[in-house]
Amino acid sequence: MSTSENRSPPSQTPVAHATTTGMTGGGFYNENSTPQWDAIAAVLPLLEEAAASLPLDGSGPVTLVDFGCSEGRNSIAALATAIAALRPLTNRPIQTIHSDLPTNDFSSLLRTLRPDGQSVFGSPDVYSSIAGGSMFDQLFPAQSLHLATSFNAIGFLSRKPVAQLPGYILPNGPSAVRASGFVSEEDRTAFSNLARADIATFLKARAKELVPGGKLLLQVFGGNETARTCDGIYDLLNDAVLAFVEDGTISRDVYEAYYQPVYLRSLDELTGPVTDPVLGAAGLFELNKATSYEIPVSFNTQFEADQDIDRYAKGYVNFFRAFTEAVLRSALPDDGGKDLLVERIFAKAEELLKKDPQLYPFRYIAVAVLLTRTAD
């Protein structure tokens, strides 16, 4: 079990084409990402379909890359499914590459890839490595990849399109239930335009790396007509931070400049850039499947069963802490009290949730596309 002492909160400056330094490390993301895994598990049939239809003529390794792998537990489990589908179809060696930002905590992943000197994938002739870099850049040689995946990651924007978001901490704005805070129409447009451009940038980079006929499975948290995966969690974080603005611990200027540069897309916002002639990625990929779906959330299900509010609040807050902490931390002033303030903000979130859980209902909607690289 990680504690706040042995966690390694990333505090470095983001690298180019990224707006976070990564998830909370030291095993914390791995321990608190069951909902993300459940969202990946729902699209494993698409991953199997992709792996079973890769172009396998030629020689050398068949290369599978997962972009935005974080600490790797979910990345390894996903690529294990792809390998199980692929291994019976070829004798070529298989290479898995787990890629994330250079500031990501890769240490758990590196310790896991070859336990006892054998591939974690338990299949002959599988070789694994890591690659640091932004997924919005080309990271691999031209036509060197066969399968690319990305799960729960492309919602993290490539840059901050506005300097401040004065009324809320997330571009998508507050939930209808909580309705506390605002994002102007102008700001919303800036973020939705960037979110579409980011998909196109990602597609252009992957189009260079993938062989013709190579597959891309791109999945991410998002929203539909009834719910958005930001509702509840960001309202709670917003309320927790505002409690410290109200008591004067955090200045209004700091609050107005702080936001999580994450955008929740609809399925149309994910698929549009595949064919939109303006964004420059049209024609690079054929769209095979597009899906929007909802998964049951593990800590909700547990709470329904045991009504244990302490356990619920811990699971709920640790879940969003794992992917918001780095950005929150970097937004707070470096005055020596930052570590304590971060602890107090997440403790306040637990307190608010326990007091009024119905203010912060959370649902997990995801969107995904399966694409095939066309021949140039």
Ligand X SMILES: C[S@@+](CC[C@H](N)C(=O)[O-])C[C@H]1O[C@@H](n2cnc3c(N)ncnc32)[C@H](O)[C@@H]1O
Q: Which chain residues interact with ligand X by CB under 6 A?
A: 17-18, 20, 22-23, 33, 36, 40, 67-70, 74-75, 100-101, 104, 134-136, 151-153, 156, 158, 323
Q: How far is the CB of 83 from ligand X (least distance, A)?
A: 17
**Neighbour tally for 144: CB within 10 Å:** 17
Pairing of strands 62-67, 285-295: unpaired
Amino acid at 372: T
355: Cβ contacts below 8 Å, ≥ 6 apart: none
Task: Give the nearer residue to ligand X in terms of CB position, either 156 or 255.
Answer: 156
The DSSP bridge partners found for residue 129 are 97
**Neighbour tally for 5: CB within 10 Å:** 6
Task: Give the nearer residue to ligand X in terms of CB position, either 69 or 97.
Answer: 69
Q: How far is the CB of 8 from ligand X (least distance, A)?
A: 13
Task: Give the nearer residue to ligand X in terms of CB position, either 36 or 300.
Answer: 36
- 94: which DSSP letter? E
Q: How far is the CB of 40 from ligand X (least distance, A)?
A: 6
Task: Give the nearer residue to ligand X in terms of CB position, either 78 or 250.
Answer: 78
**Neighbour tally for 129: CB within 10 Å:** 12
Task: Give the nearer residue to ligand X in terms of CB position, either 74 or 372.
Answer: 74
Closest among 133, 106, 130 to 14, alpha carbons compared: 133
91: Cβ contacts below 8 Å, ≥ 6 apart: 125
CA of residue 174 relative to chain centroid, distance: 20
What is the DSSP annotation of 341-372? HHHHHHHHHHHHHHH-GGGS---EEEEEEEEE
Q: How far is the CB of 219 from ligand X (least distance, A)?
A: 8
Q: How far is the CB of 43 from ligand X (least distance, A)?
A: 11
- The stretches of 15-138 forming alpha helices (DSSP H) are 28-31, 34-41, 44-51, 73-86, 107-112
Task: Give the nearer residue to ligand X in terms of CB position, either 74 or 271.
Answer: 74
**Neighbour tally for 220: CB within 10 Å:** 24
Q: How far is the CB of 152 from ligand X (least distance, A)?
A: 4
Q: How far is the CB of 106 from ligand X (least distance, A)?
A: 10
Spatial distance between the Cα atoms of 88 and 84, rounded to a whole number of angstroms: 7
Q: Is 148 helix (H, G, I), strand (E, B) or coil?
A: strand
Task: Give the nearer residue to ligand X in terms of CB position, either 157 or 352.
Answer: 157
Task: Give the nearer residue to ligand X in terms of CB position, either 23 or 250.
Answer: 23
Spatial distance between the Cα atoms of 316 and 52, rounded to a whole number of angstroms: 36
Q: How far is the CB of 17 from ligand X (least distance, A)?
A: 6
